[in-house]
Amino acid sequence: MKNKRKDSLIYLIFLLGVLIFSIYSLNNVQSKGIDQNNDFIYRIASDVEPNNNFTQAYEVYNYDNWTGTFDEHGSDPCDYYKIYLQNSDILTIKLNIYPDFEFYFQVYNTTFQVIFHTSDYQDSSYEIDITANTTGYYYFSVSGYSTSYNFEVLRTNGSGGNPGEDELEPNDDFGSATPLTLDGDGNPIDQLTIDPAGEVDFYSIDLDQGDDINILLWNLPANYDLALFYPNQTLVSESTNTGTTDDEIDYENAEVSGAYYIRVSDSDYYAGVYNLRILLEEYTPPNNDFESAAPLTLDDDGKTTEQLTIDPAGEVDFYSIDLNQRDDIEILLWNLPANYDLALFYPNQTLVHESTNTGTTDDEIDYENAEISGTYYICVSDLDNYVGVYNLTIWLKSNISPNANFTVNSTIIDQGEWVFCTFIGALGDLPTEYLWNFGDGTVNITTQNSTHQYLSFGEFKITLIITDSDGETSTFVKTVIVRSSSRTSGYSSIFGLSLTVGFIYILFMFVKKERDGLRKKN
């Protein structure tokens, strides 16, 4: 009986010891260099055995935190891992080992060359920083006599960012689909991730009716599949190539406008990095009649519109361009593959002019001094029933209207004085003609500035009419008052008479005074 109690007590002490050791080990794993405030993903490396060489190396990702164990059956226990880095990425690895256990740690580049290793077996935690000098998979290995170890992985670039982190997550369903904005056709989207394994990624992109889109899913680490959905979330098309073969969807002539959805799914239950490339060709309406004419906007004279096409054979192409009254336009149809003809139409769609040179000879229309303002139409037609490419060059000379205006030295002068007129208006389309009329019956003057002497008095209108090369005219009138010279002569006569009378009076008073003086003396 006593022996049974003794055996039970020993067994109980043994279980208690195992429990204490397990708690102590767990605390060490969680306390050695693990920052609980970071969003690290905690994993068990024993789930990925065997990973004892480069071929079996298990892929890890940014913010991974692994607790690993060595394969006790191997003669040289060693675990291999790999991580995808972009050129200049900085890889930080914090390795934590239980006390009193030794380990050996090595890091390899994309060609399996050792770029770091511990100098000898270590028995404490270790941290390194490696800067990638090329893009690809880097490897590291942990070996030693410990049965368990722990490490953290952090990937940043030189400026402190995380180029390897998928900033478009979470996007796991239609409701959280990440909008894609394309800056240019074929712009690749790098470093997208399936993480955790088995997830799906959704993206959205706006299409207009008639648009074409090509989607390429490439650089695949496992069997990932591609699908495209209508705005109502029903399937348009999918690509389910096996293995790591690229998946591609080419969808032409979108049926409706709206936000379409792209889905990337993981069929191998494998976390990894992939790339997307999207080509978008926006729909261009046909221009086969006046109503669908393609508008042309000219930034400067002599603008060439290249790579225009007659397709299918026998079609016509219409273009529209806005002209103001009296504008000049020259149109050149050139680089012709067959007998194409050129025509210009008024805004009311009646013919202005056409050029029908035979064969591949250039066609040209030179239309000056447009009769009315409005939208004119250019038509290119195919007489040879031949599909081909042609060029258009258009020179546009906008009309400049003249504006007559001038100043005079004075609007009130005396008879016989001169008036000086200085032109300050706008000339219009050169050359410009000038016609001055001074309203007193004299000969007109045709210089830009003019002078004139008024020999008669009264109120006169000075009129300037200017005419530009298009025949456009502008008129400006200014009134001048000329005072009579007789008014000045009358004033002079009165002044002279007054002066004479005054002189006679003074002389008379002087003679009288002298005479009176002589009388008093006598």
Query: What is the DSSP code string of 9-34?
Result: HHHHHHHHHHHHHHHHHHHHHHHSS-
Token pair belonging to 331? 């149109």
- Element spanning 510, H or E: helix 486-521
Which amino acid, 131?
T
pLDDT of 310: 87
| Tokens encoding 250 | 């080419």
Question: Does pLDDT of 300 surpass 60?
Answer: no
**Position 145 pLDDT exceeds 50:** yes
pLDDT at res. 97: 66
Report d(CA 292, CA 288) in Å as an integer.
Answer: 6
Going by C-alpha positions, the residue among 107, 85, 82, 105 that lies closest to residue 95 is 105
Q: Which of 111, 49, 118 is nearest to 77 (CA)?
A: 49
Residue 92, pLDDT above cutoff 50 = yes
Alpha carbon distance 200, 169 (integer Å): 10
Residues with Cβ within 8 Å of 508's Cβ and at least 6 positions away in sequence, in order, are none
Q: Please, which pLDDT band fits residue 121 given cuts at 50, 70 and 90?
A: low
Is the previous residue joined to 347 through a cis bond, with omega within 30 degrees of 0?
no
Coil, strand or helix: which one is 484? coil
- Residue 483: what pLDDT? 94
Residue 133 pairs in a beta bridge with none
Q: In angstroms, rounded to a whole number, what is the distance separating the alpha carbons of residues 169 and 202?
A: 9
Tell me what percent of the residues of the chain surpass a pLDDT of 70.
Answer: 75
**Residue of 91, 79, 93, 97 lying closest to 32 (CA atoms):** 97
Residue 459: pLDDT over 80: yes
Q: Residue 151: its pLDDT value, please?
A: 80
Predicted local distance difference test score (pLDDT) of residue 221: 85
Q: What's the pLDDT score for residue 86?
A: 76
SS3 393: strand
Of the given ranges (103-112, 115-124, 205-214), which has the lowest mean pLDDT? 115-124
- The answer to whether 487 and 449 are in contact (CB under 8 A) is no
How many Å separate Cα 135 from the centre of its chain?
Answer: 29
**Chain-wide mean pLDDT for the chain?**
80
Query: pLDDT value at position 430?
Result: 74
Rounded to an integer, the average pLDDT of 23-30 is 42
**pLDDT of 158 strictly over 70:** no
Confidence of residue 471 (pLDDT cuts 50, 70, 90): confident
CA-based nearest residue to 220, from 109, 84, 108:
84
Q: What is the mean pLDDT of residues 249-258?
A: 93
Q: What is the pLDDT of residue 191?
A: 66
Report CA Rg, the chain.
49
pLDDT at 27 exceeding the cut of 70: no
User: CB–CB of 320/293 below 8 Å?
Assistant: yes
Categorize the per-residue pLDDT at 258 as very low, low, confident or very high, splitting at 50, 70 and 90: very high
Q: Which pLDDT score is estimated for 400?
A: 83
Place of tokens 């889109």: 213
Cβ atoms within 10 A of the Cβ of 36, count? Answer: 7
Q: What digits encode the pLDDT tens for the residues 211-241?
A: 899 999 988 888 999 999 999 999 999 999 9
Burial 362-375 (b: 16+ CB within 10 A, else e): ebebebeebeeeee
**pLDDT confidence band for 257 (50 / 70 / 90):** very high
Q: What is the mean pLDDT of residues 375-379?
A: 96
Least confident of 134-143, 146-155, 268-277, 424-433: 146-155
What φ, ψ does residue 516 adopt, rounded to 5°?
A: -65, -35
Least confident of 30-44, 219-233, 248-262: 30-44
Looking at residue 159, what is its pLDDT? 40
Beta-strand ranges (E) seen in 294-411 are 294-295, 303-310, 316-323, 328-334, 340-345, 351-355, 363-367, 374-382, 388-397, 406-408
Bigger pLDDT: 446 vs 49 = 446
In this predicted structure, the answer to whether residue 472 has a pLDDT above a threshold of 70 is yes
What average pLDDT does this structure show over 435-451?
A: 93
pLDDT value for 37:
38
CA distances to 407, 421, 450, 454 from 481, rounded to whole Å, are 15, 15, 18, 10
pLDDT at 345 over 80: yes
Cβ(149)–Cβ(65) under 8 Å?
no
Q: Is the confidence at residue 183, as pLDDT, over 60?
A: no
What pLDDT score was predicted for residue 398? 82
**Are the beta carbons of 205 and 262 closer than 8 angstroms?**
yes
Work out the average pLDDT over 96-101: 63
Region 285-299: mean pLDDT is 84
| Predicted pLDDT at 40 | 47
Q: Judge contact between 421 and 449, C-beta under 8 A.
A: yes
Give the rounded percent of residues in the chain with a pLDDT score beyond 90.
Answer: 39
Report the alpha-carbon distance of residue 348 to residue 343 in Å, rounded.
Answer: 14
Among the listed ranges 26-40, 110-124, 421-435, which one has the minimum average pLDDT value?
Answer: 26-40
Lowest mean pLDDT, pick from 23-37, 199-213, 464-478, 500-514: 23-37
Chain segment 56-70, per-residue pLDDT in tens:
888 887 776 777 766
Residue 231 is predicted with a pLDDT of 96
**How are strands ordered across the β-sheet holding 388-397?**
303-310, 388-397, 328-334, 363-367
Q: How far is CA 500 from CA 367, 405, 488, 492, 495, in A?
A: 80, 52, 19, 12, 9
What is the pLDDT, as a whole number, of residue 162?
A: 41
Burial category of 115 from C-beta neighbours within 10 Å (exposed 0-12, middle 13-18, buried 19 and up): middle
pLDDT band of 322, cuts 50, 70, 90: very high
Distance between CA atoms of 283 and 292, rounded to whole angstroms? Answer: 14
Span 388-409, pLDDT tens digits: 999 999 988 888 888 999 999 9
- Contact by Cβ (8 Å): 359, 385: no
Q: What band does 336 get if pLDDT is binned at 50, 70 and 90? A: very high
Helix (H) and strand (E) counts in the chain: 2, 35
